[in-house]
Amino acid sequence: MNGLLAVADLSGDPRRRAHDRRMQRLLGSSAFITIIISALILFVLARGSIDFLKSIGWDLGVLRDSSKAPGWFPRRERFDLITIVMGSVLMGSIAMLVAVPLGLGTAVYLSEFAPTRVRKILKPIVEVLAGIPSVIVGYFALKFIAPNIVDPIFSPDQSRNMVVAGLAIGVLVIPIMASISEDALRAVPSSLREASYGIGARKSTTTIRIVLPAAVSGIVAAFIIAVSRAIGETMVAAMAGGRDGSGPRVLDPLEPGLTMTAAMTNAAGGTDQVNSGAPFQVLFFVGLLLFMMTMGLNVIGDRFVQRVRQQY
Amino acid sequence: MPIVTDSQRSATRTQVRQAITQQNRHLPSIALSVTLLIAVTFTLLTLFSLLARIVTQAIPAFSERGVSFLSGTIGSEPDKVGIWPGLFGSFSIGIGVLLIAVPLGIGAAIYLEEYAEQNRLNRFVVVNIRNLAGVPAVIYGVLGLIIFVGWLKPVTNGGTVVAAALTLAILVLPVVIITSMEAIRAVPMGLRDAGYGVGASRWEVTRDHVVPYAMPGILTGTVLALARALGEAAPLIMIGAITGLLPETSLSGKFTAIPMLIYSWSGRPDSSGGNIGWSNAAAGAGLVLLALVLVFNIIGIFLRNHFEAKRVGT
């Protein structure tokens, strides 16, 4: 050693470097577990769907019940896909009729109109709403929305119907709609608002003509992600939707109906259901369909969110 | 002869003053404000009527039964049931989530933010995690049914609380990862540079500086994930939670959880003449669940404040 530093001296203690590499591998493997989870989800759903298709002899006609009273009756080996897809779409649409005005209105108020003090109180309240478990919203649907709102106004034949479930799912997705659109509205630079005020525009004009159009991609994202959540919601649809596989072809939302999610819980949790055969395996097929629908919606929604980030 | 008469001038002055002080009545502005206020009021009204309904319905269950509502077991008579098996199941699930999802999630977040290079594979991992966060809970139930109840039967002993905890841990893993990543990303670059500058390795910088600094955010995400796991019922239906009779609670036998009790009890008719109907029992369980979720949120806020105070102090 003549007092000069060699490259080896700068590279640090080999034991510490080895430890660093070990940690990197350990942490990396926990990140790659998520890929394995996705692969397993796809594998399980695909394998089950193939089993299902095998057990109905690859006869896709079974999925479109052409009898006089079509419906979803797995135990009688009648799998009318339109029934449950329409159930999900109908309840999802009712939910969005609730969630869009209330969620977007709350978001615009929070972002554009609320004084700081009000906002500080209101925003945590919306977050509390977001944290309420869906079974509790299901209870609310059965014990409040059905007897106190839907029964007196529409007097349906059965108090568990698609309107009740749809309204409750709407309550559940209000916070999603509100928080994603609020993020988008707040991402609009204040210079745009100031320019608008500078030429004499009112607050209402600025909000409607400047801020909302500037935030439109975020609001679209909020809508798409909320739709995906509404279609994937299980508990409220199972508790309050009526779980009746003969409904939605009638297209009357005051009838009880069955969503794709509720059909899946029926297949798995039926009282004396055997864990084999087409009536059970159909849950994988419905699951795969649901997975692809929500995944597609989420990917499109995420694109819109990214667009907001890039713009501002 | 002046171009602008006095009367015209005064009218203009009034108009300007009104416009500046916003005293003028502009119908579309009022309409917008009223619409927004109605939307906010409805949202708040929904939340409060939900809470009020749960609390008022739950009061009989607690006033008539007292502690025995918490310690009793489930059964077929609404005025005799208790939620102990549900509490046991939910606590076990909570512990399982803490032991599995939290370390895995934080580890993954550290890797993706601190170690991972910007390449196709790592970008794919991140996109995949975002997608997993949007997969409906019921699909995680299908996964749990096949993997944890079926394939891993030797470990979990079938549809037990162990299988439930594993399933819900996987369900909340993306939430833990995404919130932890955001917390780690918010750590100032200078902190890392200072660490590297005095010769610390990447792991040492991460362990001693990045993770402690990001801890408040990570804890908030953890608490939110825990609250979500405690409230989920759909995956539990899929893997076969019990709602009828459950004489004893164990890690290796049949199980239930509080959300399952709410699901099952709220569907039963309130026909009996007793003081406590099924809707009261369900509301009682609902109140306990809401309280648990709320307590976790308060713990999260407390921890966050604690860490933030410490950070300012040093």
The partner residue sitting opposite A35, judged by closest CB among B128, B202, B294, is B128
- Residue A242 sits at φ, ψ, to 5 deg, of 100, -25
B contacts of A291 (beta carbons < 8 Å):
135-136, 139
CA A107 to chain centre: 18
Domain extent listing, chain A: 7-55, 61-311
| CATH for A61-311 (1.10.3720.10, 3.30.700.30, 3.40.50.920, 1.10.10.10) | 1.10.3720.10
Nearest chain B Cα distance for residue A255, angstroms:
18
Counting residues of chain B whose pLDDT is more than 70, the rounded percentage is 87
Interval B39-65 mean pLDDT: 89
Per the listing, tokens 């199972």 go with: A238
Banded pLDDT at B136 (limits 50, 70, 90): very high
- A283 to chain B, any CB pair closer than 8 A? The answer is yes
Q: Is A123 within 8 Å of A110 (Cβ atoms)? A: yes
Hey, are the CB atoms on B139 and A128 less than 8 Å from each other? no
Helix, strand counts (H, E) of chain A: 14, 2
What band does B86 get if pLDDT is binned at 50, 70 and 90? confident
**B58 — contact with chain A (CB < 8 Å)?**
no
pLDDT at residue B250, rounded to an integer: 73
User: Are the beta carbons of A143 and B141 separated by less than 8 Å?
Assistant: no
CB-nearest to A40 from B143, B174, B237 is B143
Instruction: Note the pLDDT tens digit of each residue in A231-261.
Output: 999 999 999 888 877 766 567 788 888 889 9
Residue of B14 and A191 predicted with greater confidence: A191
Which pLDDT does position B139 carry in this prediction?
Answer: 94
- pLDDT value for B243: 74
User: What does the pLDDT look like over A131-184, one tens digit per residue?
Assistant: 889 999 999 999 899 888 888 888 888 888 889 999 999 999 999 999 889 988
Domain map (residue ranges) of chain B: 78-313
CB B108 within 8 A of CB A27: yes
What is the number of other CB atoms lying within 10 angstroms of the CB of residue A58?
A: 9
Record: contact B131-A20, CB cut-off 8 A: no
Q: Which of B35, B112, B139, B205 to mutate to test the interface with A (most CBs of A within 10 A)?
A: B139
Instruction: Kindly give the interhelix angle for B258-266 and B84-110, rounded to the nearest 10 degrees.
Output: 130
Structure confidence at residue B314 (pLDDT): 44
Distance from CA of B177 to the nearest CA of A (A): 9
| pLDDT at site A78 | 79
Mean pLDDT of chain A: 86
| Rounded Cα–Cα distance for residues A125 and B43 (Å) | 10
ipTM: 0.88
pTM: 0.87
Does A11 contact B at CB distance below 8 Å?
no
Residue from A35, A136, A299 to probe the interface with B (highest B Cβ count within 10 Å):
A136
Q: Check if the beta carbon of residue A231 is closer than 8 Å to that of residue A290.
A: yes
d(CA A76, CA A70): 12
Amino acid at B98: L
User: Could you tell me which residue, A14 or A111, shows the higher pLDDT?
Assistant: A111
Q: Chain A neighbours among B 194-253 (CB < 8 Å)?
A: 199, 201-204, 206, 224, 227-228, 230-234, 237-238, 240
Of B32, B36, B139, the CB nearest to A41: B139
Find the CB nearest B145 among A128, A171, A268: A268
- Burial group, residue B55, by CB count within 10 angstroms (0-12, 13-18, 19+): middle
Give the integer Cα–Cα distance in Å for B65 and B281. 10
Distance of residue A42 Cα from the nearest chain B Cα, in angstroms: 9
Residues A245 and A72 sit within 8 Å (Cβ to Cβ) = yes
Q: Which is higher by pLDDT, B7 or B64?
A: B64
> Does residue A272 carry a pLDDT above 50?
no
A141: left (phi over 0), alpha (psi -120 to 50) or beta: alpha
What confidence score (pLDDT) does residue B311 get? 59
- Under the banding of pLDDT at 50, 70 and 90, the label for residue B281 is confident
Question: Which tokens is B224 given?
Answer: 């939110």
Name the one residue in this structure whose structure tokens are 């009021």.
B41
- Judged by CB atoms closer than 8 Å, whether chains meet at B266 and A261 is answered as no
Whether the pLDDT of residue B223 is over 90: the answer is no
Rounded to the nearest angstrom, the minimum Cα separation between B190 and chain A is 21
Mean of pLDDT values over B262-275: 78
Instruction: List the single residue in A143, A171, A234 with the smallest CB-CB distance to B137.
Output: A234
CATH entry, B78-313, from 1.20.140.10, 1.10.3720.10, 3.30.2230.10, 3.40.50.800: 1.10.3720.10
Q: What is the largest CA-CA distance in chain A?
A: 98
| B135 contacts chain A (CB < 8 A) | yes
DSSP sequence for B225-271: HHHHHHH--HHHHHHT---S------SSS----HHHHHHHHHTS---
**For chain A, what percent of residues have pLDDT higher than 90?**
42
Least confident of A43-47, A127-131, B77-81, B122-126: B77-81
B279 touches A: beta carbon within 8 Å = yes
Cβ-Cβ contacts under 8 Å for A100 (sequence gap 6 or more): A177, A223, A226
The least confident of A10-14, A103-107, A254-258, B108-112 is: A10-14
Name the token pair of B14.
């009034």
CA A243: distance to chain centroid?
20
Q: Distance, in angstroms, between A113 CA and closest chain B CA?
A: 8
User: Do B139 and A291 make contact, defined as CB atoms within 8 angstroms?
Assistant: yes
Q: Measured between CB atoms, does A77 come within 8 Å of chain B?
A: no
- So what's the pLDDT on residue A274? 56
The neighbour count for residue A17, using CB atoms within 10 Å, is 14
In chain A, residues with a C-beta closer than 8 Å to the C-beta of B262 are 135-136, 138-139
Does residue B79 or residue A81 have the better pLDDT?
A81
Lowest mean pLDDT among B86-100, B239-253, B262-276: B239-253
Instruction: Decide if B134 and A144 are in contact by the 8 Å CB cutoff.
Output: no
Residue with tokens 């029926």: A266
pLDDT at B23: 63
Residues of B with Cβ-Cβ distance to A206 under 8 angstroms:
none
Stretch 85-144 of chain A: residues touching chain B, C-beta under 8 Å: 101-106, 108-109, 113, 122, 125-126, 128-129, 131-140, 142-144
Distance from CA of B222 to the nearest CA of A (A): 13
pLDDT digits (tens, 9 = 90+) for A18-54: 888 888 899 989 989 999 999 999 999 999 899 888 8
Strand extents, DSSP E, chain A: 72-73, 78-79
Q: What is the pLDDT of residues B177-207, one digit of tens each?
A: 998 998 899 899 999 999 988 888 889 899 9
Which of A19, A21, A34, A199 would you mutate first to test chain B, the one with the most B CBs within 10 A? Answer: A34
Question: Does B297 reach chain A within 8 Å, measured CB to CB?
Answer: yes
